[in-house]
Amino acid sequence: MIEILTNYNDVLIEGFINTLIASLIALVISLIIGTLLGIFQVSTNKLLAGIANFYVQLFLNIPLLIIVLFFYVVFPMFFVGVNGFTAGIIGLTIYTSAFIAETVRAGILGVPNGQMEAGLSTGLTYGDTMRYIILPQAIKIVIPPLGNQFINLVKNSSVLAMVAGLDLMYYGDLIASETFNTFDTYIIVALFYLIITLPLTYLMQYVERRLAAND
Amino acid sequence: MDFTGAYSWVNIRFLLDGLLVTLEIAAISIILSFIIGAILGLVRYMKVPVLSFLAGAIVDIIRNLPLLLIIFFTYFALPQIGIRLSIFWSAVAAMTIFESAMLSEIIRGGLNSIPVGQMEAGRSTGLTYAQTIWYIIIPQALRAMVPPIVSQFVALVKDTSLATIITLPELTHNARIVYGQDTNFVIPMFIAMGFLYWVVCYTLSKLSKRLETSNA
């Protein structure tokens, strides 16, 4: 096991960094898209709500792998070719946006109805009430599940391995087929994933407890 | 694009064969992981010394790993220590290991959401610890647990697509074989497999919504 670590530390670290980069890029973009979609879903505008609902219901129920493969296989047939890394990030972003939209929608609906009525009756517009009254309260409900989404994102980023996306899993697979020492290699890859996901999990549990204690 | 060629009866049959394997793997894994997840969740809830800690540690490690890694592990790494499983059972083992950990976390959370007073009340009326859990805690916790459990089942169905990496002949794998023959089949095949997954998962999640409203 030590041998693999010393011989392949450079590719392992490169994969680790690529996994982190892919997850972070997908997180930032899907936070923006997901939040907008979540707000649209509860909006009174029928068209916006319809589009957002369609998007969410579509991508919530299709495997991530299919979306990533779509961008890896179909996209280059019509537009520019994308490498596995980019196709993976696009797929992750589209997929995670749907989950974040659901989380945000649930957060907004978690704020009691009276808050909206109270805001409107003091003369604020719908947009202002949303922005100054509903969303600040919704954020508190939304933070723990959003943290879990990021953990899922890191784990899901392993699909990059299936489109030669140069992530941790991809290099792990490569090392395993070179050394034939599959057992030790996958244990090492697992440890690298745990370095990211375990602290995040415990952090989210702590945040959740703190938020619950503040209520 | 060649829709009529792609949707020939042979290809559709092949896709449906794949769908059947997908559903088979999903169903077996759902049953197994529900049983194991429930036991693990209960053990952690009951705070048995040593055992609960061990269960918690194992669950935390497994649910923080990518499923793909676990699939690789059960198929490529286990033979190295003398455990040789077929492709089908490697996939089932990986799905079960991963989803049991996820489900146990949901079940533990559901049990913990029931106020401590319920346990105290149960015990003070003379019920044993086990009786209180079975007749008072679980029925109440179930109401909170059913929607996330069904969501996890939906996730499981989607996750079976990852088993294509170990050449399990499931839906994704078969669709890839079909579109590998002819580039004109690529888009029709993506539409077909997307549609099939979507129908299965959407039906399951709608079922969860139904349960949610009928329980409230």
CA-nearest residue to B195 within chain A is A62
Instruction: Please tell me which of A29-33, A127-131, B127-131 the model is most confident about, judged by mean pLDDT.
Output: A29-33
**Count of structural domains within chain A:** 1
Average pLDDT in the B12-40 region? 94
Round to whole Å and give the CA distance between A158 and A155.
6
3-state class (DSSP) for residue B84: coil
Instruction: Report CA-CA distances (Å) from A83 to A7, A88, B4, B68.
Output: 27, 9, 30, 20
Residue B22 has pLDDT above 90, yes or no: yes
> A185 to chain B nearest CA, in Å?
9
Label residue B214 by pLDDT band (50, 70, 90).
low
Between residues A78 and B72, the one the model is more confident about: B72
- Please tell me which of the candidates A61, A155, A190 has its beta carbon nearest to residue B198: A61
Residue A134 has pLDDT above 60, yes or no: yes
Contacts 24+ apart (CB under 8 A), A113-122: none
Contact across the interface for B72 and A173, Cβ inside 8 Å: yes
For the beta carbon of residue A150, count every other beta carbon within 10 angstroms.
21
CA-nearest residue to A191 within chain B is B65
The parent domain of residue A29 ranges over 2-214
For residue B111, the model assigns a pLDDT of 92
Sequence ranges of the domains in chain B: 3-215
> Roughly what angle, to the nearest 10 degrees, separates helices B9-46 and B186-215?
40
Q: What is the dihedral of CA B27, B159, A63, B59, to 10 degrees?
A: 120
Contacts of residue B158, defined as CB under 8 A and 6 or more positions apart, other chains included, come to: A61, A62, A63, A64, B197, B201
Average pLDDT in the B51-78 region? 94
Average pLDDT in the A117-129 region? 90
For the beta carbon of residue A56, count every other beta carbon within 10 angstroms.
22
Round to whole Å and give the CA distance between B125 and A51.
54
As a whole number, the mean pLDDT across chain A is 91
> B111 to chain A nearest CA, in Å?
16
Q: Supply the pTM of this predicted model.
A: 0.91
Label residue B47 by pLDDT band (50, 70, 90).
confident
| Residue A162, φ and ψ in degrees, nearest 5 | -80, -10
- Please tell me which of the candidates B64, B77, B202 has its beta carbon nearest to residue A61: B202
Q: Which residues in chain B have Cβ-Cβ distances shorter than 8 Å to A4? A: none
Residue B215 has pLDDT above 70, yes or no: no
Percent of chain A with pLDDT over 70: 99
Q: Take residue A70 and report the two structure tokens written for it.
A: 């779509």
CATH of the domain at A22: 1.10.3720.10
Residue A198 has pLDDT above 90, yes or no: yes
Q: Does domain B3-215 sit in CATH 1.10.3720.10? A: yes
- Please tell me which of the candidates A60, A182, A193 has its beta carbon nearest to residue B77: A182
Among A59, A182, A203, A205, which would you mutate to test the B interface (most chain B Cβ atoms within 10 Å of its Cβ)? A182
